[in-house]
């Protein structure tokens, strides 16, 4: 079990982007330490984010979000953002020892990936299936 370190949480919150903090305080709220939520909410206030903006973010995520098999909000397979799409893709060779041209062309097996709005297929700058 991890020991809660308030100063480490403060440092992490200060370094996180606003969108990530909004996701933590809305989508992932049930899994957060109450003290960490207070730190995040204070940081959002200092950044000028209003309660109405937090509520609007929660509604957008709720409308677009998906849950994993355990009922928790699913996370993107490529980052920590909440997933908005689940789709089949090819698991690729993970090792950096393989030349990139082979990693991209030699799939291992099909699997389902979770995608956030940024990484979903067709999004500008989207990641390809691993």
Contact 102, 93 (CB under 8 A): yes
Cα 20 to chain centroid, rounded: 7
Q: Are residues 23 and 54 in the same domain?
A: yes
Q: Are residues 21 and 10 in the same domain?
A: yes
Domain count across the chain:
2
User: CB neighbours (10 Å) of residue 24?
Assistant: 21
pLDDT of 100 strictly over 90: no
Q: Are residues 82 and 101 in the same domain?
A: yes
pLDDT of 126 strictly over 50: yes
User: CB neighbours (10 Å) of residue 77?
Assistant: 19
Q: Are residues 73 and 124 in the same domain?
A: yes
Residues in CB range of 41: below 8 A, 6 or more apart: 25
Q: Are residues 73 and 128 in the same domain?
A: yes
**Is 35 among the domain residues?**
yes
pLDDT (tens digit per residue) in 15-72: 999 999 999 999 889 888 999 999 999 999 999 999 999 999 988 888 776 787 777 7
**Is 1 among the domain residues?**
no
CA dist 117 and 14 (Å) reads 24
Q: Are residues 130 and 93 in the same domain?
A: yes
């Amino acid at each position: 079990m991890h020991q809660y370190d308030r100063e480490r949480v403060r440092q992490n919150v200060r370094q996180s982007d606003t969108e990530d903090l909004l996701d933590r305080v809305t989508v992932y709220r049930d899994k957060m330490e109450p003290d960490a939520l207070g730190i995040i909410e204070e940081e959002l206030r200092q950044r000028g984010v209003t309660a109405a903006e937090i509520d609007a973010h929660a509604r957008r995520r709720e409308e677009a979000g998906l849950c994993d098999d355990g009922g928790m909000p699913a996370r993107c397979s490529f980052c920590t953002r909440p997933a908005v799409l689940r789709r089949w893709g090819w698991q690729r060779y993970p090792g950096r020892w393989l030349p990139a041209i082979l990693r991209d062309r030699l799939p291992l097996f099909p699997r389902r990936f979770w995608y956030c709005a940024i990484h979903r297929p067709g999004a500008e700058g989207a990641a390809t299936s691993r």
